[in-house]
Structure 1
Amino acid sequence: MSPDRENQSRPKVLVVGATGYLGKHMIQCLHRRGYWVRVLVRDESRLADVKDLVDEVFVGEATKPESLIGVCDGIEIVFSSLGITRQKDGLTYQDVDYGANKNVLDLAIRSGVEKFLYVSALNADKLPDVKILAAKEHFVSELRESSIDSIVVRPNGFFSDMKEFLSMARGGRVYLFGDGEYRSNPIDGTDLANFCIDQFSFRNTCVDIGGPDVLTANEIADLAFAATGQKRRVTYIPLWITKALLFGMRKFTGVETHGPIEFFLTVLTMDMVAPSTGTRRLADFFQDEAKTEQSQR
């Protein structure tokens, strides 16, 4: 089969948010599973470690629709994990998590894209007062009301988010909220990417997903101490302190300052448990990260 005919037979996916943690895992998994991949990026240099796995690079800014003309042409499925944790460069959560995704959605509809998969966050639909989550769910509403077949995936926290536990353990002390018994099941990037690809066969669905192990914050701290070889030292922060801090920050700082803290203080002081998938375990991730750091010293 000629290269042109082979490319025509491979399902074509546009990856938006390609330079992020999940985006890079998605590129790797799509390539491994035989998809043709176009990526939308602002800075092509940030693709260096996965560029060889990409069939086509489209340089543009999702917040600027005039730079996106043609990005969805010939595409069958759009995957987007585009979003920001911190507001910067004058851009708000509404500008990016909602507005930039809406720009891509509009072009996807015009180009006849069959499906659009968007990655939100676990419990985003239940926490409307958290600004970053409100922006994500604003787009979810827009997507589900559109004419395109929509797939919404709401994952739990990523393994990469858990690195803060390792950092604290290396420093000799981990700080936890309440009694440390809030539960979560964070998910590995490869497991999540493969789960998202599996969802391509569905239409107009919303699904929550997490990793294979449901762990308390205490148990995550123990895994971090074990990986770093440090003695267990934990300080528990009363919940009233976190509530007072969040109240004060909302009152006296702008959302660009309190937005990320608002998000993390909210999700770390409640159970965050989703249906489980995958095989990659947080204990192994911590051990691998600790070994990598030691080898780099």
Structure 2
Amino acid sequence: MILLAGAAGTLGGAVARALKREDLKFIAIDVNADKLKTIEGLAEKTAVCDMSKKESLSGILKGVKTVISTVGLQRESENVTYMDVDYQGNKNLLDEAKAQGAEQFIYVSALATKEDAPRKVHQAKWLMECALRDSGMNYTIFRPSGFMTDYIWYFGKEMKSKDTFEILGTGEMKVQPIHIDDLGTCIAKAVENKKAYNKAFPVGGPEQMTLNQILEFYQEFFNRNVHIVRTPLEEAEKRGMPKDFLLRMKTDSVCDITDVKNTFGLKFRSLKDCVKEVDWSKV
């Protein structure tokens, strides 16, 4: 049996669908009871669980061989931090998995995660990666560069409907977003896959583009002349943009995907192809 944590999130849902396609039975847990109902037909069982509280995990992992965690905080608040969720919540899950005899832990981290990472989210994820490596369990780590959903449902929607689009920085930052279903398929194919044991996979889409190139593509695709406003990061910081987010805009988010493609035998979809598949009349 597999346990999927964070199952009600966007990535969690993609993993749930991929597990179903692979005919793999799983238990789905999430802190959001309402959203969890949307995948009830895919999972063998669902359970509301707050991983920040160890007692919430009691009994849930009995008989589970593989644990998958897509759990991560999108943005910190006064009450909840990356350390609370990305590290401690996942660490609680890891501890319970070990106690119950699970054999594999698949964890979704992020591309820039490393020991000396400047962003707090990556610092928290690094601690979780270290805990996994020290756990004695078979682990598989995925470090996605970013998801196409941001570049389709925000960039695309704005470029289709607005006359002005604001971008932070010069626009020369390079990105390599992956389709969320492609990552979901990778994760499902990593289950009990010895080729994926004790490895960390950088993962992204098949093309690297600057933000300016993405905007140029949308201008041509929609045949629109949208005015692009490039706001310096220093000015954005003065306006109150979170510093942790602005740090993200200072570094390219690209990677070599040779290893992940060879291991799982997949062909990833490009952003341009995915944009062309959208029914924009309904957006």
**TM-score bin, normalised by smaller chain:** 0.7 to 0.9
**2:251 counterpart residue number:** 270
SS at match of 2:190: helix
Counterpart of 1:45 (choices 34, 55, 58) is 34
Counterpart of 1:234 (choices 209, 228, 234) is 228
1:146-161 equivalence runs, <5 A: 146-161=135-150
Say if 1:185 and 1:211, in contact at 8 Å, map to a contact too.
yes
Say if 1:168 and 1:175, in contact at 8 Å, map to a contact too.
no
Q: Partners of 2:40 and 2:221 in 1: how far apart?
A: 32
Instruction: Give the CA deviation at 1:146.
Output: 1.1
Instruction: Give the CA deviation at 1:229.
Output: 4.2
SS at match of 2:75: coil
User: Which deviates further from its counterpart, 50-59 or 74-83?
Assistant: 50-59
State the TM-score, normalized to the length of structure 1.
0.83
Larger relative helix fraction: 1
SS at match of 2:184: helix
Q: Cα 1:68–1:126, aligned 2, differ >3 Å: closer, same or farther?
A: closer
Q: Which amino acid aligns with 1:191?
A: D
**1:168 counterpart residue number:** 158
Q: Deviations over 1:138-163 (max 9, x none)?
A: 11111111121121111111011223
Q: Which amino acid aligns with 2:155?
A: F
**1:136 counterpart residue number:** 125
Q: Which stretches in structure 1 are left out of the alignment for 5+ residues?
A: 1-11
Q: Which amino acid aligns with 1:204?
A: N
Q: Which stretches in structure 2 are left out of the alignment for 5+ residues?
A: 262-266
SS at match of 2:146: coil
Q: Deviations over 1:39-91 (max 9, x none)?
A: 11223321343321111112221111111111211111111110111224722
Q: Which amino acid aligns with 1:180?
A: G
2:202 paired with 1:208: yes
SS at match of 1:49: helix
Counterpart of 2:93 (choices 84, 89, 104) is 104
Instruction: Give the CA deviation at 1:166.
Output: 1.9
Q: Cα 1:126–1:139, aligned 2, differ >3 Å: closer, same or farther?
A: closer
Q: Cα 1:243–1:198, aligned 2, differ >3 Å: closer, same or farther?
A: farther
**Matched residue count:** 270
Q: Partners of 1:209 and 1:173 in 2: how far apart?
A: 32
RMSD value, Cα: 2.3
Percent sequence identity over aligned pairs = 27
**2:102 counterpart residue number:** 113
State the TM-score, normalized to the length of structure 2.
0.86
Say if 1:224 and 1:286, in contact at 8 Å, map to a contact too.
no
Q: Which amino acid aligns with 2:253?
A: M
Instruction: Give the CA deviation at 1:243.
Output: 4.1
